[in-house]
Amino acid sequence: MPSLQDRTPQSLLPLRAFADARGTLVAIEGERDLPFPIARVYYIVGLSGEARGFHAHRALDQLLVCVAGSCRLIVDDGIATHEHILDRPDRGLHVKPYQWREMRDFSADCVLLALASAAYNEADYIRDYPTFLAEVTARNGR
Ligand code: T46
């Protein structure tokens, strides 16, 4: 069985925000603000409204931040599913290995930033839900 901690719904991680009369600067350092190094940055823009994701990663950790606009993130660990609204540039969600994710309900101005722990590797993706469940079940020894 997964540990209790693994099964606890994730809360959004507060990020270091420096606000003054000019605006707000948000700083994120790998291994300081996040429990993993940052090896890759990508962002998703121009969203059509079609949902994205529908996969899990075997080893990748990521922090997802809606730096503009909002979206809904659905995270499924094979046991429970949790929904999160990302709508603040100073809050991020740590999405961990073996968490199936779906992103939906993007606002027209949504910019979704991802900070990832490793370089892009298609072999790290599980894009088939039955395979995801089988691997999670095997990992959990169920
Ligand atoms: C994730 C969610 C939150 C690359 O060539 N390099 C990259 O670093 C990435 C992330 C993607 N790609 C290519 C692979 C595909 O041909 O970009 C194309 C679109 O990727 P994908 O369909 O995987 O996009 P999403 O939005 O479904 O998923 C992405 C990330 O891939 C994924 O790791 O967790 O955002």
Question: According to the 3-state scheme, what is the secondary structure of 77-128?
Answer: CCCCEEEEEECCCCEEEEECCCCEEEEECCCCCCEEEEEECCCCCHHHEECC
Q: Whose CA is nearest to atom 11 of ligand 1?
A: 120
Say whether pTM exceeds 0.85: yes
Q: So what's the pLDDT on residue 1?
A: 32
Atom of ligand 1 nearest to the CA of 95: 34
User: Residue 25 has which token pair?
Assistant: 């600067």
**Centre of ligand 1 from the C-alpha of residue 44, in Å:** 9
Q: Are 98 and 136 in contact (CB under 8 A)?
A: yes
The pLDDT score that the predictor gives to residue 9 is 57
What pLDDT shows up at residue 11? 79
Tell me the C-alpha distance between 15 and 96, whole Å. 18
**82 catalytic residue (yes or no):** no
Question: What is the largest distance, in Å, between two alpha-carbon atoms of the chain?
Answer: 55
- Counting from 1 in the atom list of ligand 1, the atom nearest the Cα of 114 is 3
Collapsed DSSP state (helix, strand, coil) of residue 70: coil
Distance CA(71)–CA(87), nearest Å, equals 7
Indicate whether residue 44 lines ligand 1 (CB < 6 A).
yes
- pLDDT at residue number 116: 98
Judge if the beta carbon of residue 62 lies within 6 A of ligand 1. yes
* pLDDT tens-digit profile, the chain (142 residues): 333 344 445 679 999 999 999 999 999 999 999 999 999 999 999 999 999 999 999 999 999 999 999 999 999 999 999 999 999 999 999 999 999 999 999 999 999 999 999 999 999 999 999 999 999 999 988 7
Tokens, residue 86: 């990302």
Measured at the CA of 96, the angle between CA 127 and CA 24, to 5 degrees, comes to: 115
What strands, in cross-sheet order, belong to the sheet with 100-104?
81-86, 71-76, 100-104, 52-57, 125-126
Two structure tokens written together for 42 = 């990508």
What is the pLDDT at residue 90?
97
| Atom of ligand 1 at shortest range from CA of 103 | 3
